Amino acid sequence: AVEWLRINESTSTVVFYEGFNKSILCASSPSNPSPTIRWWLDSVQMNDSTEYHEMETIDGLYAGFSTIYMNFNRVDRKREILCDAYICGQDPVSSKRLRIDIW
């Protein structure tokens, strides 16, 4: 089972500079089987501009890592993004929600 999920932003608001790309990393605790990591903007799943990698630990578990690359503009201000990790047949584990701010 996925025990935890972390996103690499230390605050609850993430700043994007209009017209510039930004990446955000989501990492899951090790599990077996490996989890699927999904990204959500408000309540809509985002499938584009993501990369997924997994790493096998010494004890045979798999940690999942997903990076999303985004470019937002002013209309996206105050929207929320999060990631979740799930294994078939189990409830998903969600990251904290990040509020988007545009400069």
What CA–CA distance (Å, rounded) separates 74 from 97? 19
Q: Specify if 101 maps to a domain.
A: no
pLDDT of 4-50, one tens digit each?
A: 999 988 889 988 898 888 999 999 999 999 999 999 999 999 988 89
For the chain, how many structural domains are there in total?
1
Question: Beta-carbon neighbour count of residue 85 at 10 Å?
Answer: 26
Half-sphere exposure of 85 (CA within 13 A, CB side): 28
Q: Specify if 14 maps to a domain.
A: yes
- Of residues 92 and 19, the one with the higher pLDDT is 92
Domain assignment of residue 23, given as a range: 5-96
| pTM of the predicted structure, to 2 decimals | 0.88
Question: Beta-carbon neighbour count of residue 1 at 10 Å?
Answer: 11
CATH assignment of the domain containing 36: 2.60.40.10
pLDDT of 81 above 90: yes
Question: Beta-carbon neighbour count of residue 60 at 10 Å?
Answer: 8
In this predicted structure, what is the pLDDT of residue 1? Answer: 87
Q: Specify if 22 maps to a domain.
A: yes
Query: b vs e for 18-27, b when ≥16 Cβ sit within 10 Å of the residue's Cβ?
Result: eeeeeebebb
Q: Specify if 103 maps to a domain.
A: no
- Rounded percentage of the chain residues whose pLDDT exceeds 70: 100
- Going by pLDDT thresholds of 50, 70 and 90, the confidence category of residue 80 is very high
